[in-house]
Amino acid sequence: MHNEGLGSWPARRARKTPQRPALIHDGRTFTYAELDDRVTRLAHGLRSLGVRRGDRVAYLGANHPSFLETLFAAGALGAVFVPLNTRLAAPEIAYQLADSGTSALVYGPAHADLVAGIRDQVPVRSYVALDGPGTHGGHGAQGAHGYADLLAGGGAEPVDEPVSADDLCMIMYTSGTTGRPKGAMLTHGNITWNAVNVLIDHDLLADEVALVSAPLFHTAGLNMLTLPVLLKGGRCVLVGAFDADATLDLIERHRVSFMFGVPAMFQQVARSPRWEGADLSSLRLLTCGGAPVPPTLIAAYGERGLTFLQGYGMTEASPGVLFLDAGHAVSKAGSAGVQHFFSDVRVVDSSFDDVPPGETGEVVVRGPHVFRGYWGLPRESAAAFTDGWFRSGDAARVDEDGYAYIVDRIKDMIISGGENIYPAEVEHAILTHPDVLECAVIGVPDDKWGEVGRAVVVARPGSDLTADGVLAAVAGRLAPYKIPKSVVFTDRLPRNAAGKLLKRPLRTDHGTA
C-alpha cells in the first residue's frame, strides 16, 4: 500500500481479520471487512464533493460508527480530520470550523439546528447529514448531502493515496480551559506511535472488548482507547451517551474488558443500585484520567477486585506521556507513573536543567507521538518547544525511582507569603476525607500574605461535612502554609467535556476575599 497512515488501517486489518467484529453500536455489529468497505465508499463519496489532499473534514456528533468512518475516509484521501466537541456552543463550533478552514462537515441529527444557524459564518462547502439532507434549514440548501447517499453512491475500488507518517492526520482542538482553544496538529505518525505505546504498556489483547462511552472527540477516548483497540484487532462497543445502569448492562452483555472514563463516570457506576450484583468478571483494564481519582472511589472498585490504571497526557502528545501500571498502583499511589515506552520525559527548572528527586519543576516531553505545532499559530508553536522538548506547563516532582507525581498547572500555583502552593497537592489531601466527593483549591487575595488558598468542596449527599471537618482532615498532613484558610461548599465543580476542572469560573464565583 502507498498509504502508511490511519486511512489504511481498515484495509490492513480487513486483510488479516476480515470477519472479526470491529464496531458494535445500537445492536448492530460491523466486521472489519464491512468497516473497510464503508470507509472506502465514504472516501469516494467525499472525493465526489471535492475533498482532496490536505482539505479539512470535520465531524460533529455523538459516538457513532460514522465518526470513525469519517476519520478513516479522510485519512484515505490524505485529508485532515477535525473532531468537534458536541458540548460547545454554536459560536465556539463556528470558530473552530472557520479557524481550521473546514471544507466538509459531517454532523448528527441532534446538531442540525446548530449547523443551520452557523452556515453563513463558516467556510464549509459541503454539509453531510447522518439522517439525510434534513429539514432543519438544510433540505435543498446548497452543499447539503445525506451520509447514506454518499455511501450508496461511493465506489468499492480501493483508495490508495500516498500518505506518509509525517503527513497531517488530525487537528484536535485543545480543551480551551483559558482563552481560545488551539488546534493541535497531529500527524499519522504521532497517533500511530501513541497507539503503539498503548499496545505495549497496557498489554492489549487481540480479543479486547472496549466500551467507548467517553466522547470520541476527546483525545483519550479516541487515541488511548478506541484506535489502539482497532489497531490490535479488538472490538469497540460505541455508546452515544453515558449512563451508569446501561454501562453495567453492556459490560455483562458484551463481556467488556477495557474501559476509560473520568472519575465522575466511574462514581456514577459505583452508585448504581445494580453495582453490588453486577457481573464485572470480564473487566481487565480500567483507565481513568481528566481529574484526580478520589481515594474512596479507588477503594470502592478495589472491593470488587478492580484496579484503576492512571496516567498523564495532553492533546499535544496524542496524548499519552506517563503511565502507572497495575503492579505499582498501590506502592506508587498518587503517581502518574513513568514515561511510555516510546516517550522521553524530563522535569526541569527555570534554567531547563533536570531538578533533583523530590523537587518541583516543569514536565517536558519529546517523542514520535508529540505534535508538530498549533494550526495557524507559528509563534505559539515555536514558543511551546525548547531544544525539541514540548513544554507542558505542568508542574511535577519525581521520586528516587523515577516515578512522576503531577503537582499542578504552573499557572495555577498560589504564592502565599513567598511560598509556592500547588493546589493539586492540597486537593489530593482533602479528597482523602470520605465525605468529600470533589474538591478544588484556588487562590484568594489576603492582606497579610498576598494570597491564600480557598477550598471549594462538593460534599457527599447526606453527610454533615463542615469547613472545620475539611481542614481537620489535612492538619498535620500538609505544611501549615499550604492548608486553605477558608472552605466553601457547592453542588458541582465546573468541568469541560474532557472532565478537566475549569478554575476560571471557580475564581469568578468563589475567588473574592
Query: Options 2.60.40.10, 3.30.300.30, 3.20.20.150, 3.40.50.720; which CATH number does 413-510 get?
Result: 3.30.300.30
Model confidence at 473, pLDDT cuts 50, 70, 90, reads confident
Model confidence at 31, pLDDT cuts 50, 70, 90, reads very high
Give the pLDDT mean for 473-502: 86
What number of H helices and E strands is found in the chain?
16, 26
Q: What are the cell numbers at 42? A: 465514504
d(CA 179, CA 411): 14
Find which of 312-321, 331-340, 421-430 is predicted with most confidence, using mean pLDDT: 312-321
d(CA 366, CA 387): 10
Q: Would the CATH topology of 6-19+32-164 be identical to that of 413-510?
A: no
Asked if 466 and 433 count as a contact pair (C-beta separation under 8 A), the reply is no
Q: Cell 480501493 identifies what position? A: 158
**pTM confidence score:** 0.85
What is residue 150's three-state secondary structure? helix
Cα distance between the two ends of the chain: 63
Which is more confident, 407 or 304? 304
Model confidence at 324, pLDDT cuts 50, 70, 90, reads very high
Angle 229-372-158 from CA coordinates, rounded to 5°: 50
Which H/E stretch holds residue 219? helix 219-219
- Return the CATH class of domain 6-19+32-164: alpha beta
Q: By C-alpha distance, which of 228, 246, 343 is closest to 287?
A: 228
d(CA 80, CA 296): 42
> How crowded is the C-beta side of 235, counted as CA atoms within 13 Å?
21
What is the pLDDT, as a whole number, of residue 137?
Answer: 41
Sheet containing 436-446, strands listed edge to edge, beginning at the edge strand earlier in sequence: 436-446, 450-459, 486-489
Give CA 220 to chain center in angstroms.
Answer: 3
What are the extents of the domains in the chain? 6-19+32-164, 413-510
Q: What are the cell numbers at 313? A: 497526557
Kindly report, residue by residue over 152-167, the tens digit of the pLDDT. 999 999 999 999 999 9
What is residue 352's three-state secondary structure? coil
Kindly report, residue by residue over 51-70, the tens digit of the pLDDT. 999 999 999 999 999 999 99
Q: Is residue 176 over pLDDT 70?
A: no
Model confidence at 513, pLDDT cuts 50, 70, 90, reads low
Kindly report, residue by residue over 214-225, the tens digit of the pLDDT. 999 999 999 999
